[in-house]
Homo-oligomer: A and B are copies of this chain.
Amino acid sequence: MLLLHLLQYFGIIYFNFNSKYQLSNLIRSNLILKDFQARAPESRCQLCAVNSICLPSGLSKDELCELENIMTTSKVVEKNTQLFNDGEKFHSLYIVHSGMFKNSSLDENGKERILRFSLPGEIMGLDGIHAESYQSTAIALTTSSYCKIPFNQLLDVSEDFPIIQRNLLKIMSKEIYSNKKTYIDLGSTAKLALFIFNISQRFKKRGYSEKEFYLPISQRDIANYLGMAEETLSRIFKKLQKLGAVNYKKHILTVVNQQQLKEIAQLSSPK
């Protein structure tokens, strides 16, 4: 706790000490040493851990400066905070800075449908551009932080700096591509194995361990996302552990045998 006060004092990190649970939450969400709100503006993105895969990737210092001028960087929010809501007027893109968010919407029967989990460096709200209203809801799954970019200002800036437009197109293209990896014709075992494998690779890309990480998602939400019953998910988690592929305890996921996990994920359609 003392350490945290010191870090805050020197402007390395910033948060409110209003709960005895915040420390563990911060550690879990990998916020520590990654939140530079107190730093000088011109270096915020440059110091960010995920800048290489984020919108500012490949930008010069000048371009970065223009971009940072219009954006709000690294706002910290508690678990369950909602950034935007399905149907609300679209105005800004939100980028995950740390932690994790879930994006969902309600189906015709009012049931929640989880569309994706967003990790640091990923842009949320892209689906709202065409309709000028958000098409999904973003909710923090753990203490998290985000950056916010007003979309119209982004368009203005990008007219002067085409590379920003290009990056945006690439990011959107990647998102369209990523829907390729659909879980539709996989059996439940392959679904879960693939989900874990994909998440693991995404963590790796962000500089976290691919072997062991804190997964702030409830099993209910995983089951919802993968389109299976909660009970089935529980059983299959157990199965994967028995097989020696992964370990999962109190939201700490360990990939024990990555090769095996990959093979299970590729099991052809025994639905």
Residues of A at under 8 Å CB distance from B?
Answer: 105, 107-109, 111, 113, 115, 126-131, 135-136, 155, 158-159, 162, 165-166, 168-177, 179-180, 182-185, 224, 226-228, 266, 268-269, 271
* Residues from chain B with Cβ under 8 Å of A227 in the complex: 182, 184-185, 271
* Residues from chain B with Cβ under 8 Å of A271 in the complex: 227
A170 to B107, CA, bound (A): 23
* Residues from chain B with Cβ under 8 Å of A169 in the complex: 129, 168-169, 172
* Residues from chain B with Cβ under 8 Å of A168 in the complex: 169
* Residues from chain B with Cβ under 8 Å of A183 in the complex: 184
23 A/B residue pairs, CB under 8 Å, sorted by A: A109-B268, A115-B179, A115-B180, A126-B173, A126-B176, A127-B176, A128-B173, A129-B170, A129-B173, A130-B171, A130-B173, A130-B174, A130-B177, A131-B174, A135-B177, A169-B169, A172-B176, A176-B179, A182-B182, A182-B227, A184-B184, A184-B226, A227-B271
A184 to B135, CA, bound (A): 18
Are B176 and A176 touching (Cβ within 8 A)?
yes
Count this chain's copies in the assembly.
2
Minimal Cβ-Cβ distance residue in B for A103: B180
A108 to B166, CA, bound (A): 30
Task: Give 3 closest A-B pairs by Cβ, nearest first.
Answer: A184-B227, A129-B173, A185-B227
Which residue of A159, A165, A266 has the most chain B CB atoms within 10 A of its CB atom? A165
Are B136 and A170 touching (Cβ within 8 A)?
no
Smallest CB separation, A66 vs chain B (Å): 16
A175 interface neighbour in B109, B170, B176, Cβ under 8 Å:
B176
A105 to B159, CA, bound (A): 35
Are A180 and B130 touching (Cβ within 8 A)?
no
Minimal Cβ-Cβ distance residue in B for A156: B162
* Residues from chain B with Cβ under 8 Å of A228 in the complex: 185
* Residues from chain B with Cβ under 8 Å of A107 in the complex: 266, 268
